Amino acid sequence: MIAPNTPSAATLAPGEFRELMAGFPTGVTVVTAFDGARRPWGMTCSSLCSVTLRPPTLLVCIRNGSPTLAAVLDGGRFSVNLLSDAGRPVAELFASGASDRFDQVKWEDAPGCGGPHLPDVAHAVADCRVLRTEPVGDHTVVFGEVERSVTWTPAPQPLIYGLRSYAVWPTA
């Protein structure tokens, strides 16, 4: 039996793994949270997965040492902003590490939210309570129970990322 978080001798090199995952298109999100002083934190995230319907649970993977991870763990809550076709500049901003990112984008602190909502660029938001965390390599997997969701109608087209570029979900 292999111990958890122990790479085997056959572990794929990081560059090869990055190349493999580049061929897997995925939705683009911005994960947000408030720290203990109610300061907003956030980061672009494409590692989002639904886990179960009962209770409604999703997971996000956040780099260890990230101030967003620290805020998520500190507050025990977070929001996942599912970006729309208008979200590419915000995805790039929140991936840049710019310290003033929340000064450059409209955000809301709605009652009951897990973190800031980005209404101008999200087509939906899930507000989550941290159920548990699991360290894996240089990231932490955060399991969140979705306590509420907000969806805009009519829903804009989702933003996707794959093959190292952004695209918009094709219309039917």
Residue 163 lies in a domain: no
Look at phi and psi of residue 20 and say left if phi exceeds 0, alpha if psi is from -120 to 50, else beta: alpha
163 touches 46 (CB < 8 A): no
Average pLDDT over residues 86-97: 95
Query: If you count them, how many residues does the chain have?
Result: 172
Residue 149 lies in a domain: yes
Q: Which of 92, 85, 90 is nearest to 167 (CA)?
A: 85
Q: Say yes or no to pLDDT of 15 above 60.
A: yes
Give the model's pLDDT for residue 66: 96
Residue 143 lies in a domain: yes
Average pLDDT over residues 72-89: 96
Average pLDDT for the chain: 90
Q: How confident is the model at residue 12 (pLDDT cuts 50, 70, 90)?
A: confident
Average pLDDT over residues 127-154: 95
Give the CATH number for residue 150. 2.30.110.10
Give the model's pLDDT for residue 25: 75
Residue 103 lies in a domain: yes
Residue 54 lies in a domain: yes
Average pLDDT over residues 5-16: 71
Residue 76 lies in a domain: yes
163 touches 25 (CB < 8 A): yes
pTM over 0.85: yes
Residue 4 lies in a domain: no
CB contact set of 169 (below 8 Å; sequence gap of 6+) = 85, 157, 158, 159, 160
Q: Say yes or no to pLDDT of 155 above 90.
A: no
Tell me which residue range forms the domain holding 98: 26-155
Give the model's pLDDT for residue 92: 96
* Structure-token match 């955060």, residue found: 142
- Total domains in the fold of the chain: 1
- Higher-confidence residue of 97 and 141: namely 141
Q: Say yes or no to pLDDT of 74 above 90.
A: yes
Q: Which of 131, 116, 34, 53 is nearest to 80 (CA)?
A: 116
Amino acid at 85: D
The CA distance from 142 to 68, in Å, is: 12
Residue 12 lies in a domain: no
